[in-house]
Chains A and B, each alone.
Chain A
Amino acid sequence: MTPNELLLWLSARREGSWQQFRGAVQSLDLASNNDETDEASLPLHQRVRFSLERLAHVEFDAAECENGWRVVPPSLALFKHERGATAVLCGARTPNLINRLEAAAAGLSFERIPQPECPDVIKIHALSPEPLRALADKEKLHYAPDASSALLSHIPPIDAFRGWRCEPPPTSGKDWNVRQFVIQKKVIKWRPVTLREASAPHAQGLFCFTLYQRPKYFLREGRMSITLPGAIGKYRILSGHRRRVLKYDRRERRLTVPAILRPPLLTERALILCSGFPAVLHQAADLRPMLTYRDVPEEIAGMAAEVLRQDFA
Chain B
Amino acid sequence: MKALVILLAAAASVGFVVWLLGRRSRRRQDSQRPAEFPVSRKSDFVSDLSADRDALALAVQTEQSPHGREPPMAEVERTFSETENQKPLEGESLESTTPYEPNGRGLAEHAPNNGGLIAESTTNAEMPPYLRPENSMPAPPFSPPLTPEPFQKPENVQTETAVDEMREDSSIEAHLSCPDPDGIPSVPSAATPDVTVDVLSGASEFVREEVSGEIGGELAQPVPPIHSALGQTIETPVPRYRPPTPRRPQPRPATIQPSSLDRASQKEVSLEIRVRLMLDRAGLREIGFLPVHTPEVGESDVDVKCGEASLRLVAQEDWYQDLQFDDIGTRLQQGVELRGNLQDGRRARWLLSGRDLYILATHPRASGFVSTNRLMVGRSHVVLCTPEILPRVEEMLGMSRCQGYSRVDDDQGVPQRWIALRDVKPTAAISLDLGDNLFNAVKPTPDIEIELEGGVCLRHQIWLAGYPPTIKLFGGSNSAQKVFIDGKEADDLGDGLVIDGYDLPGPHTVHCDGLPVSRSYSVEEPSESWDRWPAYQFTQADICGPLVCARDASKVLLSVPMTNPLLIGAEPGQVFRCPSRSVSVWKGYVPFDPVWALPSQPLICDKKTARIIQLNDARVVNKGAKPKRTPTWCNALLDASRKGLSLQNGSLEAKALWVEYKKVARNIRRAWK
Q: Which A residues contact B (CB, under 8 angstroms)?
A: 1, 5, 8-9, 11-14, 17, 19-20, 22-24, 26-29, 31-32, 43, 56-57, 59, 62-65, 70-75, 77, 88, 90-92, 94-97, 140, 142, 144, 146-147, 149-151, 153-156, 162, 175, 212-213, 266, 269, 273, 298-303, 305-306, 311-312
- On whether the beta carbons of A23 and B365 are closer than 8 Å, the reply is yes
- Return A182 CB to nearest CB of chain B, in Å: 26
- On whether the beta carbons of B545 and A149 are closer than 8 Å, the reply is no
- Chain B residue at smallest Cβ distance from A150: B548
User: Within 8 Å CB of A63, what residues of B?
Assistant: 533-537
- On whether the beta carbons of B531 and A153 are closer than 8 Å, the reply is no
Interface readout for B539-566 with A: 1 if CB under 8 Å, 0 if not? 1110111111010000001010000000
Interface readout for B301-314 with A: 1 if CB under 8 Å, 0 if not? 10000000010101
Interface readout for B278-302 with A: 1 if CB under 8 Å, 0 if not? 1010000110000001000001010
The distance in angstroms between the C-alpha atoms of A12 and B463, with both chains bound, is 10
Which of B576-584, B634-642, B645-653 contacts the other chain?
Answer: B576-584
Interface readout for B517-539 with A: 1 if CB under 8 Å, 0 if not? 00000001110101111111111
Contact pick for A95, options B286, B464, B559, B585, CB 8 Å:
B464
A9-B314 contact, Cβ under 8 Å, with A29-B368, A96-B528, A302-B581: no
- Return A273 CB to nearest CB of chain B, in Å: 6
A8-B456 contact, Cβ under 8 Å, with A19-B316, A299-B559: yes
The distance in angstroms between the C-alpha atoms of A181 and B485, with both chains bound, is 61
The distance in angstroms between the C-alpha atoms of A144 and B547, with both chains bound, is 6
Flag whether B319 is at the interface (Cβ < 8 A): yes
Contact pick for B456, options A1, A91, A213, CB 8 Å:
A1
- Chain B residue at smallest Cβ distance from A58: B545
Contact pick for B458, options A9, A142, A302, A311, CB 8 Å:
A9
The distance in angstroms between the C-alpha atoms of A94 and B528, with both chains bound, is 8
- On whether the beta carbons of A303 and B588 are closer than 8 Å, the reply is yes
- Chain B residue at smallest Cβ distance from A12: B526
- Return A245 CB to nearest CB of chain B, in Å: 13
User: Within 8 Å CB of A300, what residues of B?
Assistant: 587
User: Within 8 Å CB of B533, what residues of A?
Assistant: 63-64, 70
A146-B557 contact, Cβ under 8 Å, with A96-B528, A298-B584, A303-B587: yes
Flag whether B341 is at the interface (Cβ < 8 A): no
- Return B600 CB to nearest CB of chain A, in Å: 15
The distance in angstroms between the C-alpha atoms of A273 and B94, with both chains bound, is 74
The distance in angstroms between the C-alpha atoms of A95 and B523, with both chains bound, is 13
A74-B467 contact, Cβ under 8 Å, with A23-B317, A27-B365: no
User: Within 8 Å CB of B525, what residues of A?
Assistant: 96
Flag whether B257 is at the interface (Cβ < 8 A): no
- Return B669 CB to nearest CB of chain A, in Å: 33
- Return B45 CB to nearest CB of chain A, in Å: 56
Tell me the residues in window 305-340 of chain B with beta carbons closer than 8 Å to chain A beta carbons: 310, 312, 314-319, 321
The distance in angstroms between the C-alpha atoms of A20 and B319, with both chains bound, is 10
- On whether the beta carbons of B545 and A19 are closer than 8 Å, the reply is no
Contacts A/B (CB < 8 Å), 21 sampled:
A5-B456, A8-B467, A12-B458, A17-B299, A20-B316, A22-B314, A28-B367, A59-B536, A64-B533, A64-B535, A73-B530, A73-B544, A95-B467, A144-B547, A150-B541, A150-B548, A155-B538, A266-B536, A269-B546, A299-B559, A303-B587
